[in-house]
Amino acid sequence: MADRRQTAAEAPAPYEEADLILHGGEIVTVAEPPTAEAVAVKDGVIVFVGDHAETVDRWGGPRTRVRDLGGRALLPGFIDAHGHLGGIGLQATIANLLAAPDGDVTTIASLQQKLRDWAGTDLGQESEWIVGFGYDDAMLAEKEHPTRKDLDEVSTSRPVLAIHQSFHLGAVNSLGLELLGYDSNRKDPEGGVIRRWEDVIAEPHGEPNGVLEETAFSPASDAALAGLPQAAQLGLFGKGAASAAAFGFTTVQEGGATLTNLGALREIAAAVPFEIDVVAYARADQATAALEKDPGTDPVGASPEYVNGVRAAGVKMFLDGSPQGRTAWLSKPYKTPPGNEPDDYCGYPAIKDDAVVLQQVLTAYAKGWQVLAHVNGDASIDQFIGAVRAATAKAGPGDRRTVAIHAQTAREDQINEFALLRIIPSFFSMHTFYWGDWYRKTVLGEERAANISPARWALDRRMAYTSHHDAPVALPNSIAILSSQVTRRTRTDKVVLGPEQCVSALDAVRSITINAAHQYDEQDRKGSIEVGKLADLVILSANPVTVDPEEIQHIEVAETLKAGRTVHPAAAPRTVNPAPAPDRTPPLDHDWHCSC
């Protein structure tokens, strides 16, 4: 079933009766003029922006709903520049192991109790694994990962998995290691590490301590999520969409889906269309391999049009790991190496062969797939820049809107290269809050930490950068995205991390509205409050552009409207994307590949 929502090109002629008029608050248009007194909406499209009296005179009618904002702020609906829709749903489904302000895990003992509590719930009892998400060794009192011994205290009869907040690492109990086949005879997989006890001699590779990194961790998360009840698995996308809408997002991303999960997303939407827009990206390695196997097919099916609220836009590459987990690939050593790594440890690449990276980019350019690349460390950014430069030289210039996802430790010379190659940096700016102190003291040191998420460098080069939440790594918290860019204040020590990289509140708003619309090449229909654009809107308790910067964090999302219709809060209880009928239950392969 094709999407029936009206597009911007179909805006009705003037002097018709509007369905909705909004007024009486601070309206931030993110356009010219920057403010307005009222907005009129008809058939899901903005038809007038301007003076209140003129709006009512030209567009008011007996059937028009006229709503007074009561002094609250009206902004364009927020656009998720990078996140994992299924992962957001997962975050809301399994045990919450997050630290404050999103949870209350502070010690390994409290982590253990959260897992025990979840195991006793109805869902936990049905699940094959006891599983939780979000612990952060930087925030635990022990400043250590839980080990197999710690998780054996949760259960010895069921496998247990505690997923690190980065979603690049995790810890399993002894039974989990046994089921995975990880013992002293199992060597580390390429692109991953099975951490070992330092004080236990076990030939030939050492006895695993339960902590797993990257490709060694992926089989554990796959197995644990596969063990969730089918109804819970099928509900993850819908649960994620509802959570995102609660934070004011009207467009969300499923970034890095397996081809199987991409198909499942479409089938679930066919059964119950999504209320907000979902832009999906397939894993680049799988899409490239599928095309090589059958050159006549298009495994991604990229399109600018939404069907049942879903469209695929391209592919996502994965080139390194997590800086806070100290698996990201840096050009200079970490301040403090993890575990028993040597002093010159710099992390490691996800793909060692530059030719493989180049082939993924070339394939995407040839097929017209937009490219997103997970690049946290500056060494992985160098690898990506080299591939884009070579692919552009071969394919020719074009408006491809290639995106460097996270670009957490991008150097200033690399931001210059982004500008030259027209690579859009999409920063995970909340790192300044969540892990700023950890970066200063453990990961990078003061000097390098001051320039993580370097939005100011991008602005100085007149680049339309974006910012994102990367949920489930963090909650899909739009307000935190704004606050973290404006204040760059850290979570524990409350210091301003690199004040020279702070941006204005309006620039922060642009990063999740018009700039994000530009990233998706949807700036003609989304991202600002202008005539002819979709009435994707969010009502906030206060205006982030005008309040004191330190108060932005306290702003609340009051309402989210998609094409003029309220999607949060829900008007009435409803089933969130129920499972399709048994004869059309889509397969899922449980690889959400969330990445910070």
Look up the CATH number of the domain holding residue 296: 3.20.20.140
Domain membership of residue 461 (yes or no) is yes
- CATH number, domain at 157? 3.10.310.70
Instruction: Specify whether 349 is located in the same domain as 460.
Output: yes
**Strand-strand pairing, 208-213 and 169-172:** antiparallel
Question: What does the pLDDT read at residue 134?
Answer: 96
Phi, psi values for residue 424, rounded to 5°: -85, 120
Instruction: Specify whether 284 is located in the same domain as 161.
Output: no
Instruction: Specify whether 520 is located in the same domain as 442.
Output: yes
Q: Using CA of residue 150, residue 155, residue 157, residue 158, what is the dihedral sign? A: negative
Instruction: Specify whether 287 is located in the same domain as 198.
Output: no
Instruction: Specify whether 293 is located in the same domain as 416.
Output: yes
Instruction: Specify whether 220 is located in the same domain as 306.
Output: no
> Closest by alpha carbon to 220, among 346, 142, 133?
133
Domain membership of residue 350 (yes or no) is yes
Which of 201, 227, 253 terminates a domain? The answer is: 227
Instruction: Specify whether 312 is located in the same domain as 217.
Output: no
Q: What angle do CA 160, 173, 338 make, to 5 degrees?
A: 110
Domain membership of residue 352 (yes or no) is yes
Instruction: Specify whether 320 is located in the same domain as 399.
Output: yes
Domain membership of residue 420 (yes or no) is yes
Question: What does the pLDDT read at residue 5?
Answer: 42
Question: What does the pLDDT read at residue 384?
Answer: 98
Range of the domain at 512: 278-524
Distance CA 540, CA 293 (A): 49
> Closest by alpha carbon to 253, among 403, 472, 88, 84?
84
Question: What does the pLDDT read at residue 447?
Answer: 97
Instruction: Specify whether 324 is located in the same domain as 406.
Output: yes
Contact at 8 Å (CB) between 327 and 347?
yes
Question: What does the pLDDT read at residue 586?
Answer: 64
Question: What does the pLDDT read at residue 575?
Answer: 43
Instruction: Specify whether 283 is located in the same domain as 426.
Output: yes
What ranges make up the beta strands (E) of 167-276?
A: 169-172, 192-196, 208-213, 249-257
Instruction: Specify whether 309 is located in the same domain as 454.
Output: yes
Distance CA 294, CA 476 (A): 37
Which of 227, 259, 290 terminates a domain? The answer is: 227
Question: What does the pLDDT read at residue 372?
Answer: 98
- Conformational region of residue 532, where left means phi above 0, alpha means psi within -120 to 50, and beta covers everything else: left
Question: How many distinct structural domains can be found in the chain?
Answer: 2
Domain membership of residue 179 (yes or no) is yes
In the block, tokens 């970066």 appear at 439
Which of 493, 524, 555 terminates a domain? The answer is: 524
Distance CA 269, CA 279 (A): 12
Domain membership of residue 456 (yes or no) is yes
Domain membership of residue 353 (yes or no) is yes
Question: What does the pLDDT read at residue 582?
Answer: 40
Instruction: Specify whether 316 is located in the same domain as 387.
Output: yes
Domain membership of residue 547 (yes or no) is no
Residues of the chain with confidence (pLDDT) below 70: 1-15, 571-596
Question: What does the pLDDT read at residue 587?
Answer: 63
